[in-house]
Structure 1
Amino acid sequence: MSQPRTTPSGNDLADVTRDEADAYRHGEDRPLEGYVLVMAVFAAFVAGAAGLAAATGRRLPNGIGPWDLLLITAGTHKLSRTLSKDAVTSPLRVPFARYSSTGGPAEVMEDVRTASGVRHAIGELITCPFCLDMWIATGFAFGYVFAPRVTRLVAATFTALAGADFLQLLYAKGQQAAE
């Protein structure tokens, strides 16, 4: 005869959750609690912006045209690299990362600080251009709802910077080939 199934108590649930997290980590330093907080902040930002849009009667764009998609895409790429890799923006990352070495042109490589799970998770977010892309693209999307003209200008500026970066790299490659 099987035992009746019971709902775990708060302590049991915490123990099960901790055991599952430990099994997932497999001995590695994965700040899952910090990731949960970062995801909660992102969800709160999205919910707050959507609520504000609804409360103020803002409507979603009928669509995003190819030109706007190009601006958002290239602008997101450049802004995420600027925030996560540029040497000049490294003071913004100091509480969450430590300089490791130089990276690509005008970029640095950094190690994430692991003093706490939250600090570690934020460090991973702000030193990873791929991780920042979601936040920046979402910001641009809401920008199109609240201030499309300003958003286009900001996205176009970062798109121009991305294009200029590629031209600088192409120019350097041409110089190397000429030598």
Structure 2
Amino acid sequence: MPGMHHTARAAVRAHEHDYAPDTELPLGGYAAVLSSFGTGVAGAALLARRTGRRAPESLGTRELVLLTLATHKLARMVAKDAVTSPLRAPFARHRGTEAPAEMAEEPRGKGLRRAVGELLTCPFCLSPWAASALLVLHAASPATARTCLTGLSAVAGSDFLQYAYAAAQQRHSPQD
């Protein structure tokens, strides 16, 4: 798709810039973010055990595909959608747009604030959080989880079709 390669390359360059050798990493902030993730997962496991809920021993192919698509979409929604920008605003600086319907933001501040900003602006970084939340939901309420997974997967598929449609329009439209 036209523009997709350019966008992916720009994202890689921006990511490399964030971790340039002369960049001071907010290691204390990372430790706090990791601790909160671990605490959340452990808390969910403990709550599940106390309430008698159990995670499925395995996911079927259909559930795994839905979980994969839903994780992708949920992570991108949190990291890139305009309507979720109030969640990122205390931790990220708005820089415009980088793709159709996606915000371009960069982490701000130092320490924990920067670490949270890096997490909230990076769909790759958010994916483990999104997958874990969806798996906890699956263990707590399988029917609700299936509904959420199906809905988020449908939106991810729709996004792909929107990009394909836009690329087809560009390819077949008369050039100025």
Give TM-score scaled by structure 1 length.
0.82
Whole-angstrom distance in 2 between the partners of 1:89 and 1:131: 16
State whether structure 2 residue 77 is matched by structure 1 residue 120: no
Residue type of the partner of 2:105? E
Name 2:145's counterpart in structure 1: 151
Letter in 1 for 2:24: D
1:65-144 matches, within 5 Å, as: 65-114=60-109, 116-144=110-138
Q: Which is greater in Rg?
A: 1
Q: Within 1, Cα distance between the matches of 2:170 and 2:21?
A: 46
2: CA distance, partners of 1:139 / 1:120:
23
Distance 2:150 2:61 in 1: 13
Q: 1:29 aligns with which of 24, 28, 33?
A: 24
- Equivalent residue in structure 2 for 1:163, among 146, 153, 157: 157
Offset at residue 101 of structure 1 (A): 2.4
Instruction: Report the RMSD for the aligned CA atoms in angstroms.
Output: 1.3
Q: Which runs of 4+ in 1 moved over 4 A?
A: none
What amino acid maps onto 1:150 in structure 2?
T
Deviation at 1:26, TM superposition (A): 5.8
1:63 paired residue number:
58
Using the TM superposition, give the Cα deviation of residue 130 of structure 1 relative to its aligned residue in structure 2, in angstroms. Answer: 0.3
Tell me, in whole angstroms, the C-alpha distance in 1 between the residues paired with 2:55 and 2:92. 37
Report the secondary structure of 1:88's partner residue: helix
Deviations 1:73-123 (A, max 9, x none): 000101110110112221211100011121111111111111x30000000
SS at match of 2:83: coil
Equivalent residue, structure 2, for 1:178: 172
How far apart, CA to CA, are the structure 2 residues paired with 1:73 and 1:26? Answer: 33
- 27, 45, 48: which one pairs with 2:43? 48
Whole-angstrom distance in 2 between the partners of 1:163 and 1:171: 12
Query: Percent same amino acid at aligned positions?
Result: 47
In the alignment, structure 2 segments of 5+ residues that lack a partner are: 1-19
Query: What is the rounded CA distance, in whole Å, between the counterparts of 2:29 and 2:95 in structure 1?
Result: 23
Give the superposition deviation at 1:59: 1.8
Q: State the distance in 1 between where 2:22 and 2:158 align.
A: 43
**Equivalent-residue separation in structure 2 for 1:60 and 1:132 (angstroms):** 21
User: Corresponding residue for 1:21?
Assistant: none
